[in-house]
Structure 1
């Protein structure tokens, strides 16, 4: 019997043992101080990628920059080799385009031990990764999730060193985005290696070949949302060549070979994790506050079979405060003086918090004497500037009628709008509002990300119920849209689901029964999840 058959047979015995609920099984390179159960995996036997487990990616063309060919992810470059391995290939097609591949799990997982045995890539012009990525399109770790890179191997190409990068990307892109990175040396690069991650509510522990190489925790960031498993590769580009190397130096094809991937869940037996509830403020949906305002958050934490040791309050994934005993009451003030004393404002390796004038999503967590952690549902706030915005060119837009979205108020970043970056990417050809941050060409708004917002001074000629019509364009899936407020009061969510077919192919979404008061007001448009384009909003008074 050959080695491959022995490995597969051993794995089958392990699965049978797990199904019989045998206690205290320690499997492979899983940390030996815990008991775990296999819940998902793929040994990559057979003749094709299992479509029930994986979505194989098909993307492109991607513009890689001047002097570089186009880049694609193609399904043909992801396959099984018949020897128990999945293979992701880096190659060029007959037109000279750069072709890579990738796949992601059909299901997501919240916490666990994630492990893959694989061979790293060697040639410049691309890189491979084993990583976890949020299921939702938004950036908030308590509403959508985050990104955990168990490894990326691009530094082998640029630094000519046998090192991989681990990373934790939080809130990207948003006003609270941070990226934590680390590099680890890998000996015997061309051999198979086992990469693992133990992910708990408060900790991320990285392993290579069974040895712990990195530990991050609640001092970096946490999430309460599941992530999908990704095995993928990406091409380099003109901008990325400084860390991926140049494809013209590559000997192709090159291969990313994966022997197996497995996901385990911790078995806590009869032990119960704490029950955690934010009792005040009550969950009444998102609410707006002004910069400098305070809110008191009260938490109830109970443990039926143990003692509560610590209760934590997090905002957008970052730790604000810790309590070791009741009452679990936290007073949060939305200003730099308060936040500068917390982990929220602590710097990371890359990126960093740029503004408090954005969404703030609070979650409480509690840890008991067994080390088990429970968490609450979210509470959402939007923080606005105390400085008033001004109508665009001194003229308020009118309702009933059409609100042209590129004509947002004047006042700049944090007053009239919040944009993830400070450059108007859409103004390159038209020069429209070129010195402001909103990405607009004067006809529409693009490059829209979760947590951004815009303000419009409006004259509402008659109060009453309105039908609001909004065109959206997006090739990205999932639910996304806008939230409307008038003078800081919530009035409506206008959401779309699925894709429209492209960034310039439009689908109209209609919301009826939107109640508006008469007179001059400030209408705020909050972006929910992002990754779409906008043009205008039509308001029609209902009879």
Structure 2
């Protein structure tokens, strides 16, 4: 039963299982938690007979799923409304054995940072797949700066399977692109689980398995997301709480995903494979489905109260912001209708410093009488001198919390922390590449991260191996533009004007039918000896067709003047919003006609 925009006061009712495990009572509880005032800002009740495609877009309309021993087929009809007020994602099997699937939906344009996100569902039951309602970005792909890139909030996932217990999972994944580095999971050696102690950016995947009184029937699952905290709920009862000291936080708006999650086991059951956490498809009974009653998003209604206005500045000049030198930040917080209680300084999602604010001194005599009629207000100036910023890019945000619990955020401050090793790489295999000719992307300079390139995907990993696994699978291939910059030693044979043509790759996988209108262009810049000489824009909607890293397509020519001799090329990539984008190098040719425009 739906209760449109109704907010209930839900008291958490938990019972202890015989083994000391907390079991969540199954109660029909809908709406945000008590104690705050909320307003509904977005929802879908799934009424009618057709999905509202102004509200949603298909997650992967060209999706593929390889499962040895099974014929599989993407089926649009496996994500549909049932005409009874529900969305149904189903996994079915035809008479000829073909398994039909659908990857689900993403909110088309709606995205939000902070609020209360709630869904009411009936979970899937069969092994071989699982389902989820979650928050992340579109296109999907977590960057390592959680103040720049959307991360992943799994409001629920209904593994493990086959079901031995009535359990589901919550999880928050931050900088998950670092998961290939085995020492990144729990931060061993770089500060552990205390974010203030973290010395490097690292993968964070933290969640909880929640056991339910019953698995079947309707359940309400939700996330309350504030700037400093994540609180998960099942059936109106709090099940998991995370704060800024335990996980890196994100301020980036996220979209809503309703997904079928499909993987291929390393080894099949009949071949003696170890059961994956989602179970073997061979053990499934068809059909199976996730049924969604609604998705609702609320934001807190502060009434006339306002959060503190916060600004942050940094002393010194950019060339003085070095990792081996302390840096001093000045945070100003102004609360016009309350009292500032605490001030925080974050870098790229990680707490770097915090301070409690002493209570203002009480007024006395005539000043006390005057204050009774004066407007409330409180201004704070807090100085933080820190030595714990990260190598290279840092996005600085200061926050202030007031006596009403409202949190104000500063405008992000972008800074680059230098090590002194930047741009000191040497020519690949000791031989500069030649101009005129092709600059091979994979033949970037030797010297490693921080000297020959800076790459956000392995930033912070102390064991990144050289060349093939740093930012490319092959020295001949295109390299991913997760690199912030990369250098090439070159030799120019003859002075003169050259046409330089950029080559890029971005596979079309998972992009068909997507709306990229709100995503900014990616930018590629070329410098010669630290002087910018050319720039290209790459629209978010552009792709190069089938194939990762290859083919690389020309993106237009630019005219540059070069002098004979040895030079260093620096290629800079903007903060790419489109994952799976690859740089394929340049072609330099002697001047011939007018330069063409890029894409």
Structure 1 match to 2:462: none
Residue matched to 1:525: 571
Q: Does 1:499 align with 2:542?
A: yes
| CA spacing shift, 1:103–1:463, aligned 2, 3 Å | farther
The worse-fitting range, judged by mean Cα deviation, of 451-460 and 219-228 is 451-460
Q: Distance in 2 between matches of 1:458 and 1:331?
A: 41
Alignment of 1:34-45 (within 5 A): 34-45=36-47
2:4 to 5, 11, 26: 11
CA apart distance, 1:358: 5.1
Q: Distance in 2 between matches of 1:313 and 1:195?
A: 32
Alpha-carbon spacing, 1:324–1:463, altered in 2? closer, same or farther (3 Å) = farther
* 2:121 alignment partner in structure 1: 118
Deviation at 1:272, TM superposition (A): 1.1
Aligned CA distance change for structure 1 residues 170 and 70 (closer, same or farther; 3 Å): farther
Structure showing the higher strand proportion among its residues:
1
Instruction: Provide the residue aligned with 2:361 in structure 1.
Output: none
Uncovered stretches (5+) of structure 1, i.e. residues with no partner: 15-26, 340-355, 423-432
Aligned-residue Cα RMSD (Å) equals: 3.5
* Match in the other structure for 1:218: 244
Determine whether 1:184 maps to 2:200.
Answer: no
Q: Is the 8 A contact 1:156 1:164 kept in 2?
A: no
Of 185, 201, 207, which aligns to 2:227?
Answer: 201
- Per the alignment, do residues 180 and 450 of structure 1 end up closer, same or farther by CA in structure 2, a change over 3 Å counting? farther
Distance 1:391 1:442 in 2: 13
- Using the size of structure 1 for normalisation, the TM-score is 0.79
1:437 and 2:483 correspond: no
Given the alignment of the two structures, is residue 228 of structure 1 paired with residue 255 of structure 2, yes or no?
yes
Aligned length: 489
- The gaps in structure 2 that reach 5 residues or longer are 8-28, 179-200, 268-274, 358-379, 460-465, 595-599
Following superposition, the deviation at residue 153 of structure 1 comes to 0.9
Residue aligning to 2:134: 131
What secondary structure sits across from 2:276 in the alignment? helix
Further displaced range: 272-281 or 90-99: 90-99
**Greater gyration radius:** 2
Deviations 1:134-177 (A, max 9, x none): 246561321222111111111143x6222211111112325643
Give per-residue Cα distances to partners, 1:375-404, cap 9 Å, x unaligned: 122233445654532201211234565421
Task: Find the residue that maps to 1:168 and give its secondary structure.
Answer: strand
Q: Would the alpha carbon gap of residues 47 and 331 (structure 1) be closer, same or farther in structure 2, given more than 3 Å must change?
A: same
The reply to whether residue 456 of structure 1 matches residue 456 of structure 2 is no
* 1:267 equivalent among 301, 308, 324: 301
Partner of 1:394: 430
What do the CA deviations read for 1:457-510 (whole angstroms, capped 9, x no partner)?
234679999765322221255433445566677776543111323334544334
Deviation at 1:305? 1.5
Supply the distance in 2 between the matched residues of 1:494 and 1:206 (Cα, whole angstroms): 43
**CA distance, structure 1, for counterparts of residue 492 and residue 322 of structure 2:** 24
Quote the residue 2:151 is aligned against.
146
Contact 1:57–1:74 (8 Å) recurs in 2: no
Matches within 5 A, 1:340-379: 356-357=390-391, 359-379=393-413
For the residues of structure 1 that align with 2:498 and 2:417, how far apart are their CA atoms?
Answer: 27
**Residues 517/494 of structure 1: CA separation in 2 closer, same or farther (3 Å cut):** farther
1:276-320 Cα deviation digits (max 9, x unpaired):
2223369x9x99966535543333222221222222111121111
1:265-344 aligned at under 5 Å gives the runs 265-280=299-314, 291-325=323-357, 327-333=381-387, 338=388
Query: Which residue, 172, 177, 181 being the options, matches 2:176?
Result: 172
Distance 1:536 1:58, change over 3 A: same
Contact 1:29 1:209 in 2 (8 A): no
Which shifted more, 364-373 or 232-241?
232-241
CA 1:377–1:495: 2 relative to 1, 3 Å: farther
Question: 3-state DSSP class of the match of 1:444?
Answer: coil
For the structure 1 residues 101 and 61, does the alpha-carbon distance in structure 2 shift closer, same or farther, using more than 3 Å as the test? closer
**Are 1:480 and 2:522 matched, yes or no?**
yes
Residues 493/280 of structure 1: CA separation in 2 closer, same or farther (3 Å cut):
farther
Q: 1:17 — aligned with what?
A: none
Q: Matched residues in 2 for 1:463 and 1:361: separation?
A: 40
Contact kept in structure 2, 1:59 and 1:72, CA below 8 Å: no
Which residue does the alignment assign to 2:160? Answer: 155
